[in-house]
A = this chain, B = another copy of it.
Amino acid sequence: MNDFLTNFAVQKQKEMIPSVTEHEKRKSAAVPEPAIRRMPSYLTLLRELSSEGQEYISAPRLAVHLDIDPTQVVKDLAYTGASGRPRVGYIVADLIEILEEFLGFNRKHEAFLVGAGYLGGALIQYQGFREAGMKIVAAFDIDKKKIGTDISGVPVFDLAKFRDLAGRLHITIGIITTPSSSAQQIADLMVGWGIKAIWNFAPIAIKVPSHVIVQNTHIYSNLAVILNKLEHSR
């Protein structure tokens, strides 16, 4: 990843602070969210190509696999700092590493989930997030019937125990899968307990201090697009 930096060492000495190269601008400037959203698809595909023994891949060919514009792929990859060779493309193994690094998929983030209902249960059951560097290690609820049980090996605790456990385990991510009426309250607690990022599935805006990251995900969004198309295609 730093070959790149050394390549441009000479220029940097000439004109120090202003005018960094395009590549660097890309790396430090805000990366468009749509680009970040596409990156996991690149990564999954690359892992597959790698397991098939493919060494090189060009942006246009990635583009065909994913039905994306070829230059879009080139630009997206540039955001990560990757660079390829004309006529050949990118080195699959390098690209995988760069993407994992960029996305933070190679870290071990541990998460607590609050609200052990159907949605919470589904997220826990779906072990796939581990491949992306996040592991749900415990769930919390206030329903006495759920407390003490476990979901696919993940224990469900009383919400009151969150604080103590989160502090001891250095938990960074909190997942909210409660009804929206209690989402803000849970978020406040999470912030107080030192959580750094909140993944909120309740369809409500959550207010947090600016140093805490919030990602809202509305589970019905994709379904809405399909059903709406079905509705209007008749």
Contacts and interface: CB of A to CB of B under 8 A. Distances in A.
Q: How many copies does the complex hold?
A: 2
* Contact residues of A: prevailing secondary structure: helix
A191 interface: no
A207 to B, nearest CB: 8
A186 interface: no
Interface in A101-140: 102-105, 107, 109, 118-119, 121-123, 125-129, 132-134
A105 B228 CA distance: 9
Given A37-B222, A40-B224, A44-B203, 13 more contacts: A40-B218, A44-B180, A48-B180, A67-B205, A104-B227, A104-B228, A107-B231, A118-B126, A129-B220, A133-B227, A172-B230, A213-B233, A215-B229
A49 to B, nearest CB: 11
A197 interface: yes
B180 A45 contact: yes
B48 A220 contact: no
Contacts of A13: none
A37 B221 contact: yes
A219 interface: yes
A119 B129 CA distance: 10
29 contacts: A31-B228, A36-B224, A36-B228, A37-B224, A39-B224, A44-B180, A45-B204, A64-B205, A65-B204, A66-B204, A66-B205, A103-B224, A105-B227, A109-B227, A118-B127, A121-B125, A122-B126, A126-B219, A128-B219, A132-B223, A172-B230, A196-B233, A197-B230, A199-B222, A213-B226, A213-B229, A213-B230, A215-B222, A215-B229
Interface of A: 31, 33, 36-41, 44-45, 48, 64-68, 102-105, 107, 109, 118-119, 121-123, 125-129, 132-134, 172-173, 180-181, 196-197, 199, 203-205, 211, 213, 215, 217-231, 233
A229 B66 contact: no
